[in-house]
Structure 1
Amino acid sequence: MSSHRFLLNYSRLTFLCSLLCGVLVFSIQPAQASERVALVIGNADYSFAPLTSPINDARDMTRALQSLGFEVIHKENASQQTMEEAILAFTQKLGKDTVGLFYYSGHGAQHKEENYLIPTSVTRLSVSDVKYKSVAAGYVLAEMEGAANTTNIIILDACRNNPFKSGFKSMQKGLARMGNIDGSLIAYATSPGEVANDGRGRNSPYTKYLLKYIHQQGLPIEQMFKQVRLAVKRETNGVQTPWEFSSLTRDFYFAGKTPIREQNRSCTLKFGDSLYQGQCQNGIPHGYGKMKYSDGQFYKGDFSNGLRHGRGTHYFPDGFKMSGFWVNGILTYQRK
């Protein structure tokens, strides 16, 4: 191997390690105005109708929420007991000035207008098993209401490819609309009474676009879900329409209120042998710009507080590139 090729490979390996380990060049973390706590559950290993994407959905949502300042409780293929214990641990962390978020990916069903989240411990798909061995979504909402926190967000990527046979006449298709509590937003992967797509890729269509838009600065939560809805409708040719019901009384932005492209002061900065040209704030990269490194690598895209943050592409001298959505210096969603 030539010394030139060795250096390129070594540089690429070093860069990839920095992404995985979170070793960042400029370490300035924005302070959160309030506490953020989330419970993320992904159930896929059902004996009656296995699913393909919920585990990936839950893991990717956990990483995304952690990068946005959430403390996350994460559970996979959870039993009824595990789900109920996790809900209790989650709601005990809520309180005044706290944003609470519950995300569920897996099978769900409604019976007499009550929604149920189905644990993987349910081995026989019957009305009694769903009613008495599952977790009522209303229980989650009630526990969050009892915590008296300021903002509640419930995201249900459930009702995947309805597993119920035609004989279960009392089991309605899809999920029912849930009653809201003040200061809450309840988001469904599809409209009430309809079935959501499990998808053929790494994620379900709904979670795929949640992961894309949740990192976009300047989007209020209502507008973020609107972007998700439009994208899912396009991908599914109008078959699946995500839905939300909101009684939020405060503005909420997952990734911050001000789009970083609005910072328009241009500057040239030097960091050792690296050169930055683009928008800046308080003497650090902030906005759109280009960072050139001494070994021939360069990054072109959005920065925030000195870190790659937003849309951007990192280029290597041999033509290899990593392009997608960055959060605090880490690539979290890669464009295909």
Structure 2
Amino acid sequence: MVGNKNPWWATKNKNRWATKALTTLQRIKIAMIHNMYHHNVLRTVFYLFCLLLSLSFQSLHAECDLPNLKNVTGVSVALVIGNGEYQNGRLKHAINDAAYMARTLKNLGFEVIHKTDLNSNDLNRYTKKFSDCLKQQGGVGLFYFSGHGTQITERWEQRNYLLPIDNNNILDEINVKQQAFPVQTLLDRLNGANNKVNIIILDASRDNPYYGGNGGLRRVKHSNHWIIAYPTLENQTVVDQWHTNHSLYAEQLVNAFNTAAQKCTRLRNIFRQVRAAVKNASGGVQLPYTQYSLRSPFYFGSCPKVLTVMTNKDRATLLINGRNHGIIQNRRKRVELPAGRYTVQVEKEIGGRYLVFKQQIDLQSDQELDAPLDPYPSVGSYSAQPVRGYPKDRTKIHKISSIAFSPDGRYILSGGQGSKLWLWDSRSGELKRTFYGHYDIVSSVSFSPNGQYALSGSRDQTMRLWDVHTGRLLHTYRGHRGIVRTVGFSANGHYVLSGDQKAVRLWDNDRHRFIRKFRSRGSVLSAVFSPDGYSILAGSKDDKMRLWDRDTGQLLQTFRGSAYFRSVTFVPNRHNRIISGQSDKTVRLWDVNRGRVERTFYGHSDSVWSVDVSPDGRFVLSGSRDNTVRLWNINNGKTLHTFKGHSDDVYAVSFSPDGRRILSAGNDGIFLWDTETKTQIARMMVFKEGEWVTVIPTGFFTASNKGGQKLSIRFRGTELRNNASFYNPDLVKDRLIGE
């Protein structure tokens, strides 16, 4: 053996220990790096948390807290910002221009928020405060920014940003997105304010917004009631060099505002004049750019508006905001007023009793106000009322084929033409939600026993399950043959049924799976669960009504008639009795045990489309093709009352859960009736353009933004030219809740 040479196993062992030592050192190094990384991550997370916490506290102070805006509404608000002391170089005119604009707007009646040299957090905070004030006031909003702006490519389109004064760390578009203020955020906030009109002036088309960056702004995509203006064309910049104290654009803009305030100028024309003035003064070098999306003409300045008050009593007294404006001669009086909100009151004493009309109006243009002094007639038949509300075009109303009260009576669900469902608030008359998803007419709707879900059947051959509170589609039940004419929940909500061509289908509503089919020789027109949920009843076009066992599918009873069974239901508290509505103009009471008719209700002159039974089982309700709704005594079959008001087929009827009210629906909308006074409470209509209106017999109504335009108000047979004075949601609410 050679002297110091180790055996092969010793060399191998030595190398192994050396390898282990090296591996251990590497692991320690990796662990140290890992710990350092986690330390940095934690430090970064902590910094971001503090930043978010700071922003959240700032947002708490972003609410509108201007003392001059307390207890008032309709005030015009302006946010004027001048950013001049930028880290990469001072701007010559920005701060002066902003101060000049702030003074001008204050003199014109704006409540002005004037700020200078804002960083990114301040820009975010004050634009939020600005939008909150506009949301509170609902008046005109004006945003003016003088400083640096830029545009970057974001999601395949150009987006505009306003730069804070701390722009030294803005080196590229990534930094712009992280540190600058997005114009889109401002637009989104103003959109949420839902105020009258917004004027957005971005005097930010300057060169060198940041190191290596390009100035100039891009066209903004929007469709609200706005004007957006730049000092020059898209993608171009201007140089502050012509005037000592102010930029050319700001000076011409202020001059135009001051002139417009004196002459009452249309807003669009103001910016046209500015464009022409700047072009002339710059020799055609600078051409301001303006985007318009005004939905209606808007005037700048103190333009007097003409209010014409018309009433049905001569020599009545006119008061506006409590101030006496004299006697109304010849039932008409013209008054000139500044634009604003007013309370108009007309009153007259007749035989020791005061007749009073009172209405709040928002006067922004010349307006005629109908002020009848007897808008509250005594309760009587609907046709005898001196004031009535009609749809201007009946062909524009969505036809309703099915209706249902929620179990607590708070909501009304309707479905029909237009492939939609509509959820109404029965206490206010407002349309709360529209459900989208079907592709054809909705033929049937139903609430779940807990009121949280709804079912709908449609001509698109599907049944759909919805979340009532969100309008979200939860599930679509497919596999039907033909129109799904009827749907319903079991008493416990675990099962649902649907009726289509020649079959009733049973589904597990918890697992959304098909269980079994109950065959019928004719198209199923109506189907319901028995009150205990263990039986299923269906009426069909083969002149038969069938009763099946839910769990076995066994046919328990067949009821033979001589006409279509269009609507069938069980009598509450008397499970062995059934009510049917048939195409032979009759309503029938059936004995389940004997399988035969116990009583026939005569009175309708055409086919009966729908029937329902009161919760206490004492009364029967029916809707017919003869345009009437009848209330019957179930014990003797006599008509207690005939509700008249529909002008076309009545396809659906329903009792409220407490039995005090009834619904009827058809080609002319939804009618709500009082079972005690036998009078109409309200009428609800949805129009094909998406607008809606709820009108009460006295002519007052609540409606969507343009819903009132679909309504014609007739006073003693004469159509009023302006029905704005009858828009009164409070009176409608009082009528619906019974006050």
Correspondence 1:87 to 2:127: yes
Correspondence 1:178 to 2:178: no
| Aligned pair partner of 2:258 in 190, 215, 224 | 215
Q: Give 1:125 deviation, angstroms.
A: 3.9
One-letter amino acid of the counterpart of residue 102, structure 1 = F
Choose 1 or 2 for highest CA Rg. Answer: 2
Residue 169 of structure 2 is matched in structure 1 by: 124
C-alpha contact (below 8 Å) 2:207/2:239 kept by paired residues = yes
Q: Give 1:173 deviation, angstroms.
A: 4.3
| Aligned pair partner of 1:77 in 117, 120, 127 | 117
| Aligned pair partner of 2:277 in 231, 236, 239 | 231
C-alpha contact (below 8 Å) 1:161/1:198 kept by paired residues = no
Correspondence 1:103 to 2:103: no
Structure richer in helix, relative to its length: 1
Change (3 A) 1:132 1:33: closer
SS at match of 1:198: coil
Residue 22 of structure 1 is matched in structure 2 by: none
Instruction: Single out whichever of 224-233 and 198-207 deviates more from structure 2.
Output: 198-207
One-letter amino acid of the counterpart of residue 287, structure 2 = T
Identity of aligned residues (%): 37
Correspondence 1:54 to 2:94: yes
Query: Any stretches of 5+ residues in structure 2 without a counterpart?
Result: 1-71, 305-739
SS at match of 2:265: coil
What is the CA–CA distance in structure 2 between the aligned matches of 1:198 and 1:250, rounded to whole Å?
35
What is the CA–CA distance in structure 1 between the aligned matches of 2:239 and 2:303, rounded to whole Å?
31
Residue 262 of structure 1 is matched in structure 2 by: none
Q: Give 1:255 deviation, angstroms.
A: 2.2
| Aligned pair partner of 2:183 in 110, 127, 137 | 137
User: Please, what is the CA RMSD of the aligned residues?
Assistant: 2.0
**Greater relative CO, 1 or 2 (CA 8 Å, sep 6+):** 1
Counterparts of 1:209-288 in structure 2 under 5 Å?
Answer: 209-216=252-259, 217-257=263-303
Counterparts of 1:137-176 in structure 2 under 5 Å?
Answer: 137-163=183-209, 168=212, 173-176=215-218
| Aligned pair partner of 1:202 in 208, 220, 245 | 245
TM-score (norm 1): 0.63
Change (3 A) 1:90 1:163: closer
What is the CA–CA distance in structure 1 between the aligned matches of 2:83 and 2:77, rounded to whole Å?
20
* Post-superposition CA distance 1:213-252 (Å, at most 9, x none): 1011232111111111111111222111101111112333
C-alpha contact (below 8 Å) 2:149/2:209 kept by paired residues = no
* Post-superposition CA distance 1:5-64 (Å, at most 9, x none): xxxxxxxxxxxxxxxxxxxxxxxxxxx994201111000101213201011111111111
One-letter amino acid of the counterpart of residue 163, structure 2 = I
C-alpha contact (below 8 Å) 1:56/1:203 kept by paired residues = yes
Change (3 A) 1:52 1:185: same
SS at match of 1:35: coil
Q: Give 1:164 deviation, angstroms.
A: 5.3
What is the CA–CA distance in structure 2 between the aligned matches of 1:221 and 1:175, rounded to whole Å?
22
Correspondence 1:64 to 2:104: yes
Residue 427 of structure 2 is matched in structure 1 by: none
What is the CA–CA distance in structure 1 between the aligned matches of 2:266 and 2:291, rounded to whole Å?
15
What is the CA–CA distance in structure 2 between the aligned matches of 1:33 and 1:230, rounded to whole Å?
35
What is the CA–CA distance in structure 2 between the aligned matches of 1:92 and 1:163, rounded to whole Å?
29
User: How many residues align structurally?
Assistant: 223
What is the CA–CA distance in structure 1 between the aligned matches of 2:132 and 2:122, rounded to whole Å?
15
C-alpha contact (below 8 Å) 2:149/2:161 kept by paired residues = yes
Residue 5 of structure 1 is matched in structure 2 by: none
Change (3 A) 1:163 1:146: closer
C-alpha contact (below 8 Å) 1:232/1:242 kept by paired residues = yes
What is the CA–CA distance in structure 1 between the aligned matches of 2:302 and 2:240, rounded to whole Å?
30
Counterparts of 1:16-35 in structure 2 under 5 Å?
Answer: 34-35=74-75
C-alpha contact (below 8 Å) 1:180/1:186 kept by paired residues = no
What is the CA–CA distance in structure 2 between the aligned matches of 1:164 and 1:182, rounded to whole Å?
31
Query: Any stretches of 5+ residues in structure 1 without a counterpart?
Result: 1-31, 259-336
What is the CA–CA distance in structure 2 between the aligned matches of 1:153 and 1:132, rounded to whole Å?
27
SS at match of 1:178: coil
SS at match of 2:207: coil
